[in-house]
Structure 1
């Protein structure tokens, strides 16, 4: 197994090494290929992600990714958008369930849902024009893209409660009517029960009644926004992992950004990156190791070994080291 390691910018340079220490505790035969990619590289060389970088990544099985700073500069091209498109990582999988012993800021209800976000088109298709007095962004929704993200949602739903919520804005956007109709067709063919929600109503109801939902499938922008809403329910972005899955490659990353305000202070929460490693282990077929990792995270939180965002006083490496030590003693 060959793993491309891309820390990126800001706290990405801290949380990814912390996550790798946890991965190393399992002693697996994984070849790590470190790559410098991101805004820092762009500032120095004029290119955040080179063709050579892409070639190396395509030669790897999967990617462990940190975070990227994206400046408000029209000459800067999004690294993640290029990776998702060129690797065809069309399914962004973001699970949300409270971790044991984490104080929930918004809701004390028990919930466990997954947001399945189309990852390569929609408002993030990258087709834009910027002029002096007007700017254009083209929203692309294709049958192929809608069908395969719906199939991904069905695959996940079949292993859970077999319930899918299709999230859209079809009352305003014709392209969302198309997305909804294609998704309904796929869901029915798979024998999965479904309902649908307008995205604004979904954001409202997700806060009030998260326990109602199991698997949500939606378009790129809506999935991005709803994921941050959901992160508040579980205790913050520092706890939320994600997987970007394609037919040939996969990329695993925390959903948080580069957080330049706390970069270099050693206080970033590494749990999102560590749980992204858990998702990577599951993708590799290493379910036993993934479950051990999850139990180790729960144990460390229960002991109160947490970073300041969770009310603790521990450093990022304190958390990472504690999880690694528990992995070494768990059966």
Structure 2
């Protein structure tokens, strides 16, 4: 009997519920033997209950194969409300942030296929800061173990998906201890993967290369802060944050979500771009398929990405891409295309 997969769903805030429901509509049309379990979290849930996350959230997660998530809102002026994204990342030890950036015909200015892998738990994002008089200090933490496991992840990812080059991004010429440790550990790990080229790039050079010669790049491995910044630059090269999905992966669970925010200005208008969420679901199916050796899920994941590119090449675009189509127009076009492909 085929395994029944259990996927948690965090609909999120702003446009989150619209694009998550649109994505589940596509998945439900594909007969994938997946059951969806809703998980309550986010600022909207906080406004209703006074809690940012449901009480048994992490107990439910223990029974799941993956989580599909919409964007969550962290208001800057509500001091008692802490980021749910950071809470989930920390509690589940989601150490690998994976963001594929593949160009789109008719949208992207250059042709490229780049994957940014970002260490997701360390760096200045540990949030240890202080202020004394007119001086502010932030603690940057890079560990050998954290650097080692993300480097191993990057090389394994490259081999599994047919890439032959991993480039470590750093500023070790200036930050000789923190970035130095990240770089040194990368090259130690690289010795275990002799069939993958390991090289390096200073972070500012990486930004320049992304714009000028993105076709030269394959897998980029970065510490947390650099990865966060370069991700938006790469999304800009793709053509829109709305076209990019991501995964946050730990040892036992992974969370899949678009790279964009909650877009409160267009929430409820039916014009949000669902593609980032759909491509995140594509990554989720690939993750589950590889974890459980399910060839059907892997094949469907490939066809979802193919269908997305076919639909965008036909200029079925939401307003963020310069089009006039609605969220549902894109979803229905992808469903029709998948019917033809599968």
- Whether TM exceeds 0.5 here: the answer is yes
Q: 1:260 aligns with which of 249, 253, 264?
A: 264
The aligned counterpart of 1:165 is: 167
The aligned counterpart of 1:122 is: 123
Q: 1:322 to 1:160 in 2, by over 3 A?
A: same
CA distance in 2, matches of 1:161, 1:302: 25
The aligned counterpart of 2:293 is: none
- Asked if structure 2 preserves the Cα contact closer than 8 Å seen for 1:25 and 1:327, the reply is no
Corresponding residue SS for 2:11: strand
Corresponding residue SS for 1:261: helix
CA deviations on 1:253-282 (whole Å, 9 max, x unpaired) are 100011112111111110010011111111
RMSD over aligned Cα atoms: 1.7
Corresponding residue SS for 1:16: helix
CA deviations on 1:199-249 (whole Å, 9 max, x unpaired) are 122112211110111111011111111010000111110000111111110
1:34-73 pair list within 5 angstroms: 34-72=38-76, 73=78
The aligned counterpart of 2:325 is: 314
The aligned counterpart of 2:240 is: 236
1:195-210 pair list within 5 angstroms: 195-210=199-214
The aligned counterpart of 2:87 is: 82
1:296-307 pair list within 5 angstroms: 296-307=307-318
The aligned counterpart of 1:142 is: 143
TM-aligned CA deviation for residue 76 of structure 1 = 2.1
CA distance in 1, matches of 2:9, 2:301: 19
How many residues are matched?
Answer: 327
Q: 1:63 to 1:129 in 2, by over 3 A?
A: farther
TM-aligned CA deviation for residue 47 of structure 1 = 2.2
CA distance in 2, matches of 1:289, 1:275: 12
Q: 1:300 to 1:33 in 2, by over 3 A?
A: same
Moved more, 214-223 or 45-54: 45-54
- Asked if structure 2 preserves the Cα contact closer than 8 Å seen for 1:296 and 1:323, the reply is yes
Q: 1:131 to 1:35 in 2, by over 3 A?
A: farther
Moved more, 231-240 or 183-192: 183-192
CA distance in 1, matches of 2:191, 2:62: 35
The aligned counterpart of 2:197 is: 193
CA distance in 2, matches of 1:51, 1:83: 13
Alignment TM-score, normalising by the size of structure 2: 0.91
TM-aligned CA deviation for residue 304 of structure 1 = 2.4
Moved more, 266-275 or 321-330: 321-330
Q: 1:11 aligns with which of 15, 29, 44?
A: 15
The aligned counterpart of 2:222 is: 218
CA distance in 2, matches of 1:273, 1:130: 39
TM-aligned CA deviation for residue 74 of structure 1 = 3.3
CA distance in 1, matches of 2:200, 2:107: 31
CA deviations on 1:75-132 (whole Å, 9 max, x unpaired) are 2221111111211111111111112x3322xx33x21111010111112123344677
Q: 1:30 to 1:258 in 2, by over 3 A?
A: same
